[in-house]
């Protein structure tokens, strides 16, 4: 079934920042911060997969977690379906959280080792549909909103949607493979019929053959349920395969954003060119332009002035260290933050 991508954003990040305060500095009066995310504007449209890439420490995971308010932003706005999530509390926030779910990188650490698969997948249903809490599935015969047998049937249905079945209900995570555990985590994320799922490196901890199965499963679930994904990964091949658009982050800033194919084929930002130039092409004798970057990624505690990439950029000009480039639309749907593009 063709996937329809809406023209209105499902979620909008407006000048989103997260500055983690470092301990110490009381005596000197110099409070230091990690500028993990520093003024990101990004819209995700209903029905699309937005891939977010960048080196470790660029802020992509922090950005994804802020969308669910698992990490509270320092400043900025997150508008989900027209509502500013930052201003919600209590029941209103709970109701929005039903619509945004997350799948973490390592299923063995994100799933409770003491809970069986049935409890793990039923947990969101119990938490959101009853005031009784998780322990109730084995004790409480009926829950407001859903009966115990309805929850049991729903858990089996969810497991079947991710390629598992009744035979897995009584297993603990340590009795399953990494791929099966990630399927359980995906089933749990689907339990409340979310609209947006943040996939935080969902295949990085898996074998290559299992990665492909999980990607195909995510693709299939997306078209069946009309889901929207924020797909965070440092695996550029996987991102290219699954994403409709790609955002590239460097040191807490978004530096390039655009449709997947042109961004991969003709990256415009010098950092994106260096990042994607390292991907081998599947065609013999065909090579990408390879840019070797000098030095390491600077510390997010003391990021460079002006353009944050200027300390490593092969095209840097004197002005680049003075003025921070704004994101500008340079082609239809393509945005780049660079003075020279
Ligand atoms: Fe390089 Fe300057 Fe562009 Fe930054 S603004 S990416 S330093 S050319």
State residue 216's pLDDT score: 94
pTM reported for the whole predicted model: 0.90
- pLDDT, tens digit (0-9, with 9 covering 90-100), for 109-156: 889 999 999 999 999 988 876 544 444 444 344 345 678 888 999 999
Q: Which helix (H) or strand (E) holds 15?
A: strand 9-21
State residue 282's pLDDT score: 61
Is the Cβ atom of 104 under 6 angstroms away from ligand 1? no
State residue 268's pLDDT score: 95
Is the Cβ atom of 339 under 6 angstroms away from ligand 1? yes
Pocket test for ligand 1, best of 275, 291, 339, 341 (most atoms within 8 A of CB): 339
Is the Cβ atom of 222 under 6 angstroms away from ligand 1? no
State residue 248's pLDDT score: 97
Looking from the CA of residue 320, the nearest atom of ligand 1 is 2
Q: From atom 7 of ligand 1, which residue's Cα is the shortest distance away?
A: 310
How many other CB atoms are found less than 10 A from the CB of residue 143? 19
Q: Where are the domains of the chain?
A: 112-193
Low pLDDT (below 50) residues in the chain: 131-143
> 320 C-alpha to center of ligand 1: Å?
6
> 133 C-alpha to center of ligand 1: Å?
52
Q: From atom 6 of ligand 1, which residue's Cα is the shortest distance away?
A: 338
State residue 289's pLDDT score: 65
Query: What CATH number labels 112-193?
Result: 3.40.50.300
């Amino acid at each position: 079934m063709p996937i329809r991508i809406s023209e209105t954003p499902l979620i909008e990040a407006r000048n989103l920042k997260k500055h983690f305060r470092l301990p110490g500095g009381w005596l000197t009066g110099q409070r230091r911060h990690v500028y993990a995310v520093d003024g990101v504007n990004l819209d995700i449209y209903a029905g699309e997969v937005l891939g977010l890439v960048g080196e470790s420490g660029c802020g992509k995971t922090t950005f994804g977690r802020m969308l669910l308010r698992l990490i509270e932003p320092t400043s900025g706005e997150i508008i989900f379906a027209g509502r500013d999530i930052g201003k919600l509390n209590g029941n209103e926030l709970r109701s929005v959280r039903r619509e945004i779910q997350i799948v973490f990188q390592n299923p063995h650490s994100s799933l409770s080792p003491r809970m069986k698969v049935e409890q793990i997948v039923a947990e969101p249903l119990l938490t959101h549909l009853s005031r009784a809490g998780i322990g109730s599935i084995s004790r409480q015969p009926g829950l407001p909103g859903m009966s115990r047998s309805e929850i049991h049937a729903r858990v089996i249905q969810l497991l079947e949607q991710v390629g598992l079945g009744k035979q897995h209900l009584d297993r603990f995570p340590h009795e399953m493979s990494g791929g099966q555990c990630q399927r359980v985590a995906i089933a749990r994320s689907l339990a409340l019929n979310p609209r947006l799922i943040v996939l935080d490196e969902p295949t990085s901890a898996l074998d290559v053959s299992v990665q492909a199965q999980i990607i195909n499963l995510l693709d299939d679930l997306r078209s069946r349920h009309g889901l929207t994904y924020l797909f965070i990964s440092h695996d550029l091949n996987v991102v290219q395969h699954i994403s409709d658009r790609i955002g590239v982050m460097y040191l807490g800033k978004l530096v390039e954003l655009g449709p997947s194919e042109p961004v991969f084929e003709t990256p415009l930002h010098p950092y994106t060119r260096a990042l994607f130039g390292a991907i081998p092409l599947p065609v013999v004798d065909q090579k990408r332009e390879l840019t070797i970057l000098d030095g390491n990624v600077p510390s997010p505690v003391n990021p460079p002035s002006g353009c944050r990439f200027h300390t490593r950029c092969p095209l840097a000009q004197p002005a680049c260290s003075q003025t921070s480039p704004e994101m500008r639309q340079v082609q239809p749907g393509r945005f780049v933050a660079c003075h020279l593009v």
